[in-house]
Each structure stands twice: as structure tokens, then as C-alpha cells.
Amino acid sequence: MKLLGEPLTLEKSCLLEAKKEPKMTSDNRARLRVAALIFVMVNAVVFGVGLVTVLMTPALSQHAFLWIPIVIVSSFVFSPPLAWLIAPMMMQRFIQARRLAGGTGGSSL
């Protein structure tokens, strides 16, 4: 770590670089692909729940011109993290099969 007044030497920067892990492992790539596939479905469910909530609540339905765009934007904001959290659950069958076959465990999911 760099202290105040202490310059960062080549040896120290090489040590810092060596400790970094790869940005995308094969497990994370697979998780990203599954999350991208289920993003549309998760987005539809989040949007549907928000829209039904707005339309069924009298106080919100009076101001639907305000709340429906908020529901649209919030569904696009909340869907990617939800899809990222759901993806490992969708991949469990394949992770278990790989463990039984003797491959890597994929424990980073």
C-alpha cells in the first residue's frame, strides 16, 4: 500500500498487480449469460407487479401519468440485480452435474 510521501516502486506495483484476480471467470461468464436470458422475464414480472399496484391503489391510480413512468424506470433499474441473483439458482442443475463429473466446483456462484 502506498503511504504518504512514499513513492510506488516497480516492485510494489508488480506485487499489487499479481494479487488481482481475473475479472471474468468462466463461471461469471455463464452467470452473465443466464442473467441476460432471464432479464426480460424478470423485467416483465417486476413491471407487471408495479403496474398492478399502481392501478389497484386508488391514491396511485389518480396520478397514473406520474406513477406509470416511475414503474417503467424502476423495473429497468431493479431487474438486472434480480436477474443476477436468480441466475445461480437457474444454474444449480448444471453446477451439480459438473461436480459429480469431477470438474471444478464453481463455488464462486
Amino acid at 5: G
**Contact residues for 2 (Cβ-Cβ < 8 A; gap 6+):** 8, 12
d(CA 69, CA 50): 10
The model's pLDDT over 61-77, given as tens digits with 9 standing for 90+, comes to 999 999 999 999 999 99
Amino acid at 7: P
The model's pLDDT over 8-45, given as tens digits with 9 standing for 90+, comes to 666 655 555 556 667 778 888 989 999 999 999 999 99
d(CA 78, CA 35): 13
Q: What's the CA dihedral at 99, 104, 108, 109 to 10 degrees?
A: -40
d(CA 9, CA 18): 14
Considering the entire predicted model, what is its pTM?
0.67
